Amino acid sequence: MRMPLRVVCDFDGTITKQDTADAIFSRFAAPEWHDIEALWEAGEIGSAACMRRQMELVNASLPELDAALDELEIDPAFPAFHAFCAERDIELMIVSDGVDYFIRRILQGAGLPRLPIRANRLIQKGERRFSLGHPHKVQDCASGAGTCKCARAAPTATDQRTVLIGDGRSDFCVAHEADIVFAKKSLLRYTREQGIAAFEYASFADIQAAFETLLPPVQADVPCLDQGLSASA
């Protein structure tokens, strides 16, 4: 079976080495952001409300945010994986419950400014104040997420196969829907608990190596996966 691929990739802790929003909140937000995080972890508020309320506690100028974002590192193997997908016409989209401005700034610094991004929108409310908009929110999202990953990960064609690359809680719902899952950290634990087949990875070098094994040569017209593809739960 040969089917076109759509790769849905998380950003914070997946492409980046740490959670971008947490790094910004730790540096610029009032300490109450931890209390809001605890409410989300306890399931008392959704992630959209959590992120928005935390962002409204940030006291920083845009240049200060830029300087802090420029210090954050991405997985050094991600640019090569991005080039690998582009060479094979594999659709690669970042779908994140993080902040679009943060993602774009970091990708621009890595020389990757044109990737499609679905994330919460940063809104500047004053010289040192911000909030968030949620252009990709879905009304009945079970987790109350600002970006409903399941809705954004849905195939755009009946013959399309979805690959999820993720690491955390915001990826849990998509893991049930994706055809193939690459997981680490809490997402890997979740897939094992739920009996969801997933490939374990440490970096994008591992993911690219798996793709190179499973995909046909680059000369092929349509990116696809082999019928014999399997993963260990």
Mean pLDDT along residues 34-51: 93
Tokens encoding 133: 């908009």
Mean pLDDT along residues 188-206: 97
pLDDT on residue 155: 64
Q: Is the pLDDT of residue 215 over 90?
A: no
Binned at pLDDT 50, 70 and 90, residue 231 comes out as low
Mean pLDDT along residues 161-183: 92
When mean pLDDT is compared over 52-56, 134-138, 225-229, the highest value belongs to 52-56
Distance, CA of 10 to CA of 1 (rounded, Å): 27
Residues 6+ apart with CB under 8 A from 228: none
pLDDT on residue 98: 93
Comparing 16 with 221, the larger pLDDT belongs to 16
Distance, CA of 8 to CA of 117 (rounded, Å): 10
pLDDT on residue 69: 98
pLDDT on residue 149: 80
Distance, CA of 15 to CA of 223 (rounded, Å): 22
Domain-wise residue ranges, the chain: 5-214
What's the mean per-residue pLDDT of the chain? 89
Binned at pLDDT 50, 70 and 90, residue 228 comes out as very low
Q: Is the pLDDT of residue 230 over 60?
A: no
Distance, CA of 193 to CA of 188 (rounded, Å): 9
Q: Is the pLDDT of residue 1 over 90?
A: no
Sheet architecture: strand order including 180-183? 129-133, 117-126, 91-99, 5-9, 161-166, 180-183, 199-200
Mean pLDDT along residues 208-222: 76
102-148: per-residue pLDDT in tens? 999 999 999 998 899 999 999 999 999 999 999 888 777 766 678 87
pLDDT on residue 160: 82
Distance, CA of 102 to CA of 191 (rounded, Å): 28
Calculate what percentage of the chain has a pLDDT beyond 70: 87
- What is 5-214's CATH superfamily? HAD superfamily/HAD-like (3.40.50.1000)
